[in-house]
Structure 1
């Protein structure tokens, strides 16, 4: 029945909650049933009558509950509904597991469970529709087994607000040793297929952006400094570094431009709305001043399907870069 197909009906989820709550507590009250139906917007007479078996026609009732006392019910079959996975979800899991980064975000037990799913016969999502192939060849990609420990330590440091000491090798080979800083944010560049980490340098009182795989050594720093004062200064600096105005772009949804826009700006705080009169989507991107160059690079990556409407200095920057590109590569092109 279509009414039980989860993607098409919230009634399935409501019944699942009613059954599982009844199983967990050995009973369920009439009020709890009404609350669940209300939660999923199923609190109308036709549904209520079917749940409580009030219809005169036997076939129109759903006999999952039986009265127990004045205002309580129990399950007719004492079993719960186990979580299940749809074919659409399996398709996305197959796509996720095809990434070399799956081990960075999923535990061993989770990966084992996914591998045990019956995924044979389920079609795969064409990764070429989502992930571009024009990665930069300037820098090779580190083996995931070497990248993973550094990635997890940085993630743990961000969550637990730890100060770290690290050594970093730049793309041109310059080495910065024993730098002390606070990890702020991890970013992934779809364009370069690279993970970046943004540090707040305690020495320079400024932000630095590093490629994670180029960090040669990293450790938690427990030095003799006033942690409260350090983080107080850091929070003030972070607050002042936040841009006063978001970058506003309008996306023409052709050639999957909207999906690409959300993908490349996934690491940024943002809001979106549909502009019906223009048949476009507006995305507001909130960022720190030190991220401006990165955002401009990603906007240019999206191409002609994206228009920057605000702020003016970002518009002028992009127009200037486009004109220079046209002058360099299309001498006969009139701007």
Structure 2
């Protein structure tokens, strides 16, 4: 019998998934034990969870990294983890309100602002966490960097209040939504999975016209995300084109005109589609 057969056995893996069982190798246990010795583990886990993990791994060998690993000099990078992530997630799970003291760009601090935490987002560009929260006094959505939050405290709200706030937030988000239809150029149909991956973070619906052998993707996104959609369209290049969405069409034409102008091509010289 092949000793590695169970790793590739679909039925075994499916049964483990159904029962909520996770297969962990001895190497993974050893690596986890070493990671729990890092000071950051005290911030990433509650004391109870950290103690439980350490007790479960007590009999596993330790990973010695002092002599086997070296790290080259590099530029300073920000930590992905932030101490406020865990308490904020718990507040959102309880649907509780908050009192927040936060700093703005000019250094001023706004104290005891009543709010309702709605969503945590991570910016891959700035490598920072953001809290999207609803300002109860101004009835507006706020976007605040976690590193700009000076102090945070819980302010419980009733279930009825939480439901009303969430309904108001959803109405605001619906009002800010935009949509566009992207057509996949037929000769690039075999790259559909790659194209869909580029738009994976957006709400989308895929349509297929069997007669024309044509795929279309209807994207739904917030208004302030349109520039990010444009960056994805530029990345995909001639594989796609915008067939619905006047704003995106206009911005793509502007981008194309600017790019061509760098090479001395004027609007009169451009070939109409």
TM-score relative to the length of structure 2: 0.58
Distance (whole Å) between structure 2 residues aligned to residue 117 and residue 309 of structure 1: 57
C-alpha displacement at 1:260, in angstroms?
5.9
Note if contact 2:183-2:216 (Cα within 8 Å) is conserved in structure 1: yes
Equivalences for residues 54-73 of structure 1 within 5 A: none
Q: Does 1:294 align with 2:225?
A: yes
Question: Does 1:84 pair with 2:23?
Answer: yes
Aligned to 2:171, which of 239, 250, 262? 239
Distance (Å, rounded) in 2 between the aligned partners of 1:166 and 1:86? 43
Q: Give the TM-score normalised by structure 1.
A: 0.49
Q: Which of residues 127, 131, 149 is equivalent to 1:215? A: 149
Out of 309, 319, 330, which is 2:242 matched to? 309
Tell me the alpha carbon deviations over residues 214-241 of structure 1, each in whole angstroms, 9 at most, x when there is no partner.
111111124xx87624641541342352
CA RMSD after TM alignment: 5.3
C-alpha displacement of 1:175: 3.0
Match of 2:271? Answer: none
Contact 1:201 1:207 in 2 (8 A): yes
1:133-178 CA-partner distances (Å, limit 9, x unpaired): xx9x9xx84685xx31x22222112111111111222234343322
Mapped contact 1:180–1:201 kept (Cα < 8 A) = yes
Q: 1:14 to 1:156 in 2, by over 3 A?
A: closer
Greater RCO structure (CA 8 Å; 6+ sep): 2
Work out the CA distance in 2 between the residues paired with 1:192 and 1:280: 37
Please report how far the alpha carbon of residue 192 of structure 1 lies from its aligned counterpart in structure 2 after TM superposition: 1.6
- What are the ranges of 5 or more consecutive residues in structure 1 without an aligned counterpart? 21-81, 121-134
Q: Residue 188 of structure 1 is aligned with which of 115, 122, 129?
A: 122
Question: How big is the shift at 1:195?
Answer: 1.0
Q: 1:205 to 1:321 in 2, by over 3 A?
A: farther
Choose from 96, 99, 102 the match for 1:165: 99
- Aligned to 1:108, the other structure's residue is in SS state helix
Name the count of aligned residue pairs: 233
Q: 1:175 aligns with which of 97, 101, 109?
A: 109
- Give the equivalent residue in structure 2 for 1:203: 137
Q: Please list every run of 5 or more consecutive structure 2 residues that lacks an aligned counterpart in the other structure.
A: 65-74, 267-273
In 2, Cα distance between equivalents of 1:305 and 1:202: 41
Whichever of the two has the greater Rg, that structure is 1
After superposition, what is the alpha-carbon deviation per residue over 1:69-113, rounded to whole angstroms, capped at 9, x for unaligned? xxxxxxxxxxxxx853479x96xx99xx7xx99865895368757
